[in-house]
Amino acid sequence: MMNRELLKDKKRIVVKIGSSSLTHAETGSLNLEKMERLVRILTDLRNQGKEVILVTSGAIAVGRKALGLKDRPTERSIKQACAAVGQASLMMVYQKLFAEYNQTAAQILMTKYTMINDISRMNAQNTFGELFKMGVIPIVNENDTVSTDELDFGDNDTLSAIVTALVKGDLLILLSDIDGLYTDDPHTNKDAQLIPCVEEIDESLSHMAKSTTSNVGTGGMATKISAAKIATASGADMVISNGDNVRNINHIMTGKEIGTLFIAHKKQDFNILDYITTKQYQK
């Protein structure tokens, strides 16, 4: 089992936060106090000399709230309209909060095509590299406004793992609505046990990862296991932790046993395209 103290030494960190962690459950509006705390923690990591990427959900949720839609839309055109409204509003909040701590943030919107096209993928990689050199924190989201069924990631768990692999990240932190990976669904089974560390991902884990659903987000535990496969194969450790308390980021970075740690198993022949299923679009 890995000594969690080693997480202190991670230099390039990707943090993913889901819609349910960013919004108030009662209203669907942004939880500004939590967002402010998240921004302060990420900026402080940057002040320590670490390179940080934030993969954020929330554009559709913010847009649907602004447009007065009660339920999460199912039609793609409506979701894309919500994303178009919500993405601008979400970034405006992030930019304002980061500016309060004198931290520059950048927006990067991606689709699966960004990754499967060699030129686009290289350009994205170069952009991240330049932003790191400039001390900027990139804020990444899927470009829901223009993505298609064939060319979307479907959830930001997968996107964050792909981004981690692209930038050769050291650590991926998934902030979720659950404490980590359990032996069963803790919402329905009171005897379910939290698994503190996963040294190897096998089929039994996939059976444990029963998908969960919410009115806000899209990713269940199954998507987090898929993300762990990508991140660990690329050479990054990954931690699933509860996003209710964004200070868990600090706890993880100081070596405390928070959430579930997936230990990196870098594949020598790792190819990011092997983990993107739309093969017919690869050029």
Domain boundaries in the chain?
Answer: 4-281
- The residue behind tokens 């990420």 is 42
Is 237:173 a contact under the CB 8 Å cutoff? Answer: no
pTM of the predicted protein model = 0.91
Q: How far is CA 157 from CA 77, 173, 200, in A?
A: 23, 10, 19
Query: Residue 141: CB partners within 8 Å, gap ≥ 6?
Result: 55, 56, 57, 58, 59, 87, 90, 107, 108, 109, 110, 156, 159
Question: Rounded CA gap, 94 and 91, in Å?
Answer: 5
Task: Give residue 3's pLDDT.
Answer: 82
Task: Give residue 151's pLDDT.
Answer: 45
Sequential pLDDT tens for the chain (283 residues): 678 889 999 999 999 998 889 999 888 889 999 999 999 999 999 999 999 999 998 888 899 989 999 887 888 889 889 989 999 999 999 999 999 999 999 999 998 888 888 999 999 999 999 999 999 999 999 886 776 554 466 678 999 999 999 999 999 999 988 899 888 777 788 888 899 999 988 877 766 665 444 443 444 678 889 899 999 999 999 999 999 999 999 999 999 999 999 999 999 999 998 888 644 334 4
Q: How far is CA 5 from CA 10, 119, 194, 254, 283, in A?
A: 10, 38, 20, 7, 42
Pairing of strands 137-142, 105-110: parallel
Q: Which CATH superfamily is domain 4-281 in?
A: Acetylglutamate kinase-like (3.40.1160.10)
Q: Which amino acid is located at 92 in the chain?
A: M
Q: How far is CA 226 from CA 66, 108, 181, 207, 223, in A?
A: 32, 23, 13, 12, 5
Task: Give residue 190's pLDDT.
Answer: 84
- Residue 81: in which H helix or E strand, if any? helix 76-100
Give the DSSP letter string of 183-215. SS-TTT-TT--B--EESS--HHHHHH------S
